[in-house]
């Protein structure tokens, strides 16, 4: 894998990347542009558009839960359908709001599923005719949380598990039509999303009842400390972006890729141990992060 920042010759192809304001999405957009693709970088705010705009990177306002935004992006892809084919869509946008199942309000459950699942389906439906025409590729960014559900990650993991299942179904539906579907499962990556998720989790914890504080304060503190540790030692976003770009440029991609040593190990372990054994492993890994009494 090359780490050069030199622009390669331009290709006559588009790639749509959602959630391209920061982190993995922005890094993926920049790497794809470097490799010659014209990137439609989905962002939610004009300020983010100004930051990501660059040679071969065209920012587009795209809240994947907003039907009008999705319709506009599909129309933008259609403008180039006669001259530049849609090579791929990278469904990367996401949020993380973590709290125990008992504590997390239903509105937050719905919001996470809207962004982390239904929004990706809506974008895919909108651009799928172009991908079928070009025999392109769909890259869905799930998570190690799409294979292993940590405590307090019920809503996030639930949406990511569901996206894994939808991706499997979609892959089998589209294979006869020449469209490939690839799943990418990152572990700890140094992105802003993790920090925002920790802040939101702390805010939700403030609204717990006294009984809930007694049940969950230690767990929430440990999970938060563990997440901060993973973020600090995680894979840099640029490396994750190159890995995602590889899934688009490789001729014969696998159906699934992990990013980061932690994701690779956890996903493999989960395949071969019993649920009880996996519970014990996760408990043991979390134990050092509990506050000392």
Residues designated as active site: 156
Cα distance between residue 154 and residue 132, in whole Å: 34
Report which secondary-structure segment, H or E, holds 29.
helix 23-34
Which of 104, 106, 100, 108 lies closest to 214 in space, CA to CA? Answer: 100
Residues 3-9: contacts with CB under 8 Å, at least 24 apart: 3/242, 4/34, 5/34, 6/34, 7/33, 7/34, 7/36, 7/55, 7/56, 8/34, 8/35, 8/36, 9/36
Cα distance between residue 117 and residue 290, in whole Å: 32
H-only helix segments in 63-145: 67-79, 106-113, 119-134
DSSP code, position 145: G
Per the CB < 8 A criterion, the answer to whether 182 and 79 are in contact is no
């Amino acid at each position: 894998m090359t780490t050069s920042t030199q622009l390669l010759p331009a290709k006559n192809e588009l790639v749509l990347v959602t959630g391209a304001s920061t982190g993995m999405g922005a890094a993926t957009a920049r790497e794809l542009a470097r490799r010659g693709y014209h990137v439609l970088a989905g962002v939610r705010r004009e300020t983010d558009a100004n930051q990501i705009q660059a040679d071969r990177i065209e920012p587009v306002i795209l809240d994947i839960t907003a039907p009008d935004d999705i319709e506009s992006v599909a129309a933008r892809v259609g403008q180039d359908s006669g001259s530049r084919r849609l090579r791929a869509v990278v469904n990367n946008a996401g949020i993380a709001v973590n709290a125990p199942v008992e504590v997390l309000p239903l509105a937050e459950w719905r919001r996470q599923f809207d962004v982390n699942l239904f929004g990706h389906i809506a974008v895919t439906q909108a651009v799928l005719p172009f991908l079928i025409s070009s025999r392109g590729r769909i890259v869905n960014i799930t998570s190690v949380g799409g294979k292993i559900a940590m405590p307090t990650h019920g809503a996030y993991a639930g949406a990511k598990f569901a996206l894994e299942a939808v991706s499997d179904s979609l892959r089998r539906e589209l294979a006869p039509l020449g469209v490939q579907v690839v799943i990418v499962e990152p572990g700890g990556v140094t992105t802003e999303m993790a920090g925002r998720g920790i802040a939101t989790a702390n805010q939700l914890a403030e609204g717990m009842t006294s009984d809930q504080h007694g049940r969950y304060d230690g767990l929430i503190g440990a999970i938060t400390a563990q997440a901060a540790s993973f973020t600090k030692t995680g894979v840099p976003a640029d490396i994750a972006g190159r890995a995602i770009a590889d899934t688009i440029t490789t001729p014969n991609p696998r159906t699934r890729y992990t990013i980061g040593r932690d994701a690779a190990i956890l996903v493999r372990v989960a395949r071969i141990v019993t649920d009880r054994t996996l519970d014990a492993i996760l408990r043991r890994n979390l134990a050092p992060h509990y506050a000392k009494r």
